[in-house]
Structure formats: structure tokens, C-alpha cells
């Protein structure tokens, strides 16, 4: 029996996905776990693995297509079987039965189209009388949408997942009418640094733009900065990496400066827990666990994987987790769960030579730490002598609804002490 595979919902906030690349062709046989395509979500580009074995009967959407969640992307069935019409009622629907369980795979599972309802629901409310797939109802509930108010495009006017996705993606605030005029005069000599072009905005970049605009427009940012003596940190890092290399050889763990920053941030949050919080509208939610997210730059945007329970992990554990998450991010294997639920964010541009900056808060975090490069500069030591020193500038952007200036200053003070006496993080 042929199955229509829909565009799956790969994150809680995803409403549209972009089919970046197909790894299959029509007529090709596929098995559980085979990678069908790469899909760009609102958070990352992810591999789409198959849970419906058979032959690819039809590919409904070409690479590059942007499709709402729930729209058909391909059909899989028996060899020689006719591909079902994605716009009409399936030719041979299955009898009402529970969907087959989806086995665990290394990628993100395809989500088969929701089975059609065969029995009218009990007349309890307008929403309950509305014909809608169970999946569409769950989507509507999460998006706080009234199913009864939606126009269905499924068979017989049935509300399906794509209808809910379209309603959830509908603009709710005023936006500029039409494209923004950014035309400029061409170069006088006819030779520019690159051709004029309008580049399409993918799902990840659109989400980054929306979330950062939301953060800057709705969160009252304030900024603090402190300079840290990084010489003890650099010395400890060199010593530890030397010992690790002697023990493990070429495969030994190598500690980065960012690993120390992450561990020190977790310890500073333990000392000043008021920063490990979120604005909840009518209350401030204080978090008992420290879930650290950190920025990883990719070609098509920025992702922020999360190290869970960083407050309870050693420097080695944090370094190991961070390297594993960076590897998964660069190979497009991060799951939505690995990019959500953070309580504090660290962003580091030191490797690019940036000496200081302030990041935009990663909502719903109450603060974000910005780390600059370690540079050599003349400094005055404890004996009032001018000596060569290693200095690092770290900045804090805080949500003033949650964190006051004094709280932010206390956090930076604690972080500075830990970084300047880095053996504290080994205890």
C-alpha cells in the first residue's frame, strides 16, 4: 500500500521546510534508515531518514522547494504500484488502525500522512465536530489555533496538517508591503566585487532574523563588560593539553579556550543563580539546572546546541559534549531537542580576532555571554610595573526585566575570579 510522505515537523516552531537536496530518485528502493533528503528547518539543515521501506514511486517536490509542514513530498510503495494523487483522496486507504510504530534511526524519521478518519466524532463542540486529522488537531492545539475556524483542503474539506501550518505561519503583525527597495547604482567601471542578485532566504536565516528582531524589540537589553587576565587560563590549558596528549596520543582530547569558558560560566551561574532565569510574563522562572547553549557558525547560519546539566559536569565532560555537538552540527545531524531548552548562552568570536562585542539575547534566556580574543598588551602588575600581559574582554547582555545591573556585575565578577584562578574549575 503506497504511503504519501509529508513534510515533517522537525522542531516545535517549524511551519515551513526547504527541501535542500534529494538523495533518492524515482524508482529507487529504500529501506529503514536510508537518508531520503536534506531538509532546512527553522533551526538547522537536517537529514531526513526513511521509516517506510519500499520503492520511491513519485517525488512531488523538487529540490529547493519551500513547503508547509504536512505538504506531500514523495510517495513510497510497492514496485510497479501507481503513485497516489496527493491532492485527492487516497485510492485505497487503509482500514482504521493504529499507525505502525516508527523504529529508531540515526536520522530524522519521515512522517507518513495522517490516516483519514472513518468515524464522526461525538458532537461536543465546534472544534470536535470539525473534520480534521489527529495530527492536525495536535498541531492546532500546540499553536493555540481553533480547528473549527480553519478551512480544510483535504478530502471532503478535511483539515490537514498543511492547513494548520499555513494558519500558524500567517502574519500576525504589520509588515512592509512588498519587497524593500535596496536598489543601488551599478559600479561605474562595470566591475563589482560580486554580481547584483536577490538571494532567497532559507528557513534557518528567516528564523534567525525573526527571533533576533523579536529579541531586540521586546527584550530590554543592558550591557556590561570586564577585562580578564587570561595568562593563568592559557597556562593551565597548555599544561592540561600536554598531559592529555601524553596519555592519549593523537586521539587525545584537546581542550579549547571555549571549553574553559563554558565550564567557568556554569560555575559562575552556580554562585549567582539569579542570572540562570527566564522572563515568564507574570513571573520570573528560576532554573535549577544549567543548560548551556553555545554558538556554532555554519555556512547557512548559526545554530546553538545545548550542553545539558553543565553545572554537574566536569571540564572533560563539557569539552567532550561540546566537540560531539559541534561535529553533529557540521554534519547536519543535530536533533531539535539538542538545540532547545537552554538557560544561558555563550558566544565566542575570539577565534576571528574580535576583541569585544555584545550578543543579542537568545530568548528565553536572561543573558548571553560574549567572549573576545585573548591579546597581548602592556599592563600594570601588582607592583605597578609595566609588563606584557594576556587580556580577554568578556561582555554580558542582560534582560533587564530579569537581571539587574548588580546581578549582572556579580556574575561577571564571579566569572572573572574563576577564569583568573582556573584551577577552581578542577575542584
pLDDT at residue 362 is higher than 60: yes
Longest dimension (CA), the chain: 86
Q: Annotate 290-305 with DSSP letters as a single string.
A: --EEE-EEETTEEE--
Q: What is the mean pLDDT of the chain?
A: 82
For the segment 97-125, the average pLDDT, to the nearest whole number, is: 36
Distances (CA, A) of 41 to 19, 62, 233, 336, 420: 9, 16, 38, 10, 40
Place of cell 536598489: 183
Pull the grid cell for residue 121: 466524532
Q: What are phi and psi of 54, to 5 degrees?
A: 150, -150
For the segment 15-22, the average pLDDT, to the nearest whole number, is: 86
CATH code for residues 205-426: 3.30.559.10
Q: Using alpha carbons, select from 325, 395, 335, 314 the residue that is nearest to residue 360.
A: 395
Q: What are phi and psi of 392, to 5 degrees?
A: -130, 130
Distances (CA, A) of 40 to 43, 64, 166, 382: 8, 10, 17, 54
Rounded CA gap, 374 and 353, in Å?
8
**Residue 128: Cβ-neighbour burial (10 angstroms; 0-12, 13-18, 19+):** middle
Rounded CA gap, 19 and 82, in Å?
24
Band of residue 76 on the pLDDT scale cut at 50, 70, 90: very high
CATH code for residues 1-113: 2.40.50.100
For the segment 22-35, the average pLDDT, to the nearest whole number, is: 91
Rounded CA gap, 261 and 252, in Å?
20
Q: What are phi and psi of 72, to 5 degrees?
A: -70, 140
Q: Is 222 helix (H, G, I), strand (E, B) or coil?
A: strand
Instruction: Provide the terminal-to-terminal Cα distance of the chain, rounded to the nearest Å.
Output: 60
pLDDT score recorded for residue 170: 61
- The CATH number fitting domain 116-169, selected from 3.30.1330.200, 3.30.465.10, 3.40.50.150, 4.10.320.10: 4.10.320.10
pLDDT at residue 129 is higher than 70: no
What is the tens place of the pLDDT at every residue in 138-191?
677 666 667 676 777 776 677 777 777 777 666 544 444 456 667 788 888 888
pLDDT at residue 20 is higher than 60: yes
Number of C-beta neighbours around residue 200 at 10 A:
10
Distances (CA, A) of 194 to 65, 180, 202, 353, 402: 26, 20, 20, 25, 44
Place of cell 529501506: 31
pLDDT score recorded for residue 169: 64
Pull the grid cell for residue 265: 560560566
Least confident span in 53-67, 88-102, 374-388, 392-406: 88-102
For the segment 41-53, the average pLDDT, to the nearest whole number, is: 81
Least confident span in 82-91, 121-130, 367-376, 380-389: 121-130
Pull the grid cell for residue 2: 503506497
Domain segments of the chain as ranges: 1-113, 116-169, 205-426
Rounded CA gap, 132 and 126, in Å?
12
Rounded CA gap, 308 and 294, in Å?
12
Q: Using the 8-state DSSP alphabet, how is residue 132 labeled?
A: B
pLDDT at residue 126 is higher than 50: no
Rounded CA gap, 407 and 274, in Å?
7
Q: What are phi and psi of 120, to 5 degrees?
A: -70, 135
Band of residue 88 on the pLDDT scale cut at 50, 70, 90: low
Enumerate the active-site residues. Answer: 400
Distance of CA 202 to the CA centre of its chain: 14
Half-sphere exposure in the Cβ direction for 283 (13 Å, CA): 3
Report field, pTM of the whole predicted structure over 0.75:
no
Rounded CA gap, 159 and 161, in Å?
7
Identify which has the larger pLDDT, 212 or 307: 307
Q: Using alpha carbons, select from 46, 52, 58 the residue that is nearest to residue 19.
A: 46
pLDDT at residue 260 is higher than 60: yes
Least confident span in 71-80, 284-293, 305-314: 71-80
What is the tens place of the pLDDT at every residue in 210-252?
888 889 889 999 999 999 999 999 999 999 999 999 988 778 8
Number of C-beta neighbours around residue 375 at 10 A:
14
Q: Annotate 378-398 with DSSP letters as a single string.
A: EEE-TTS-EEEEEEEEEEEEE
Query: Are residues 403 and 274 in contact, defined by beta-carbon separation less than 8 angstroms?
Result: yes
pLDDT at residue 97 is higher than 80: no
For the segment 273-302, the average pLDDT, to the nearest whole number, is: 92
Burial 79-92 (b: 16+ CB within 10 A, else e): eebebbebeeebee
pLDDT at residue 119 is higher than 80: no
Amino acid at each position: 500500500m503506497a504511503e504519501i510522505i509529508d513534510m515533517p515537523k522537525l522542531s516545535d516552531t517549524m511551519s515551513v521546510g526547504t527541501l535542500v537536496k534529494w538523495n533518492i530518485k524515482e524508482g529507487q528502493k529504500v529501506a529503514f534508515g536510508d537518508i531520503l533528503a536534506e531538509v532546512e528547518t527553522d533551526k538547522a539543515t537536517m537529514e531526513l531518514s526513511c521509516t517506510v521501506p519500499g520503492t520511491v514511486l513519485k517525488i512531488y517536490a523538487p529540490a529547493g522547494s519551500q513547503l508547509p509542514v504536512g505538504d506531500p513530498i514523495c510517495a513510497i510503495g510497492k514496485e510497479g504500484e501507481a503513485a497516489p494523487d496527493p491532492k485527492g483522496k487516497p485510492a485505497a486507504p487503509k482500514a482504521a488502525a493504529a499507525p505502525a510504530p516508527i523504529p529508531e534511526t540515526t536520522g530524522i524519521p519521515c512522517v507518513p500522512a495522517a490516516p483519514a478518519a472513518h468515524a464522526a466524532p461525538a458532537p461536543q463542540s465546534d472544534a470536535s465536530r470539525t473534520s480534521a486529522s489527529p495530527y492536525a488537531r495536535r498541531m492546532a492545539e500546540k499553536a493555540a489555533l481553533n480547528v473549527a475556524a480553519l478551512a480544510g483542503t483535504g478530502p471532503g474539506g478535511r483539515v490537514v496538517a498543511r492547513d494548520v501550518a499555513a494558519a500558524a505561519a500567517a502574519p500576525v503583525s504589520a509588515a512592509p508591503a512588498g519587497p524593500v527597495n535596496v536598489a543601488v547604482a551599478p559600479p561605474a567601471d562595470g566591475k563589482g566585487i560580486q554580481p547584483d542578485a536577490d538571494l532567497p532566504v532559507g528557513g534557518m536565516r528567516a528564523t534567525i532574523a525573526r527571533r533576533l528582531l523579536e529579541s531586540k524589540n521586546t527584550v530590554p537589553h543592558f550591557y556590561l563588560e570586564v577585562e580578564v587576565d587570561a595568562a593563568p587560563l592559557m597556562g593551565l590549558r597548555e599544561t592540561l593539553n600536554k598531559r592529555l596528549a601524553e596519555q592519549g596520543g593523537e586521539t587525545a582530547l584537546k581542550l579549547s579556550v571555549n571549553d574553559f569558558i563554558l565550564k567557568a560560566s556554569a560555575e559562575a551561574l552556580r554562585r549567582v543563580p539569579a542570572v540562570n532565569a527566564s522572563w515568564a510574563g507574570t513571573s520570573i522562572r528560576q532554573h535549577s539546572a544549567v543548560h548551556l547553549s553555545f554558538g556554532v557558525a555554519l555556512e547557512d547560519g548559526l545554530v546553538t546546541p545545548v550542553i545539558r546539566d553543565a553545572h554537574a559536569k566536569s571540564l572533560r565532560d563539557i569539552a567532550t559534549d561540546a566537540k560531539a555537538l559541534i561535529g553533529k552540527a557540521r554534519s547536519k545531524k543535530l536533533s531539535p531537542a539538542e538545540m532547545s531548552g537552554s538557560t544561558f548562552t555563550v558566544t565566542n568570536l575570539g577565534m576571528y580576532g574580535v576583541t569585544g562585542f555584545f550578543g543579542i539575547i537568545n530568548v528565553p534566556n536572561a543573558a548571553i555571554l560574549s567572549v573576545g580574543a585573548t591579546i597581548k598588551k602592556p599592563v600594570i602588575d601588582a607592583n605597578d610595573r609595566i609588563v606584557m600581559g594576556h587580556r580577554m574582554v568578556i561582555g554580558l547582555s542582560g534582560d533587564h526585566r530579569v537581571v539587574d545591573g548588580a546581578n549582572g556585575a556579580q556574575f561577571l565578577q564571579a566569572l572573572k575570579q574563576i577564569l583568573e584562578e582556573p584551577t577552581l574549575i578542577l575542584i
